[in-house]
Amino acid sequence: MAKRRSLRSRRWRRWTVLGIAVAALGAGAFMVLRPSAQGRADPGNAAQVARGKAVYALECAACHGVHLEGQPNWKRPLANGFMPAPPHDVTGHTWHHSDEDLFGITKHGLVPYAPPGYQSLMPAYGGKLSDEDIWAVLAYIQASWPAPILAQRRHR
């Protein structure tokens, strides 16, 4: 009888430790994927927008266009199956996404955010750009959007 209790006790401890480990990993993944709590895109902040413009020119303009115009026929896959870079001006869908999703896509890539099977050449910039640079790029992009779009996004 004592051996059974001991066996049950060990099993219970093992499952408890496993449960705690899984919870810790889940919390860790959340912390890695969530946007920086200190950062935000502020299209009214001239310094942040200027920083974002410079970073965008170096890292984003080659694909998304110097004037945020994206690549031609951005809604249709290329011959290789990959989607072209979309525009970030109001003709695209960027403004439909939350700041948190845009930050996550830029930092971690599209995989956690895109529908299954969606193929894109968009790299993850988490290892290359700081959170502040990513927020600055988003501020620069948003600074090009008209006031009604910005107001609509604030009320979601």
- Pick one of 2.40.30.10, 3.30.420.40, 1.10.760.10, 3.90.25.10 as the CATH number of 41-154: 1.10.760.10
pLDDT in tens, 28-80: 444 344 444 357 999 999 999 999 999 999 999 999 999 999 999 999 999 99
Q: Rounded to two decimals, what is the model's pTM?
A: 0.74
**Shortest CA distance to 100 belongs to which of 84, 113, 91?**
113
Helices (H) and strands (E) in the chain, counts: 6, 0
Ordered by start, the domain boundaries in the chain are: 1-33, 41-154
Question: First and final CA of the chain: distance in angstroms?
Answer: 61
Neighbours of 74 (CB within 10 A): 18
Question: How far apart are alpha carbons 4 and 9 in whole angstroms?
Answer: 8
| pLDDT recorded at residue 34 | 44
> Considering only CA atoms, which of 133, 126, 122 is closest in space to residue 107?
126
Q: pLDDT for 98-145, tens place per residue?
A: 999 999 999 999 988 989 999 999 999 999 999 999 999 999 999 999
Torsions phi, psi of 14, nearest 5? -60, -45
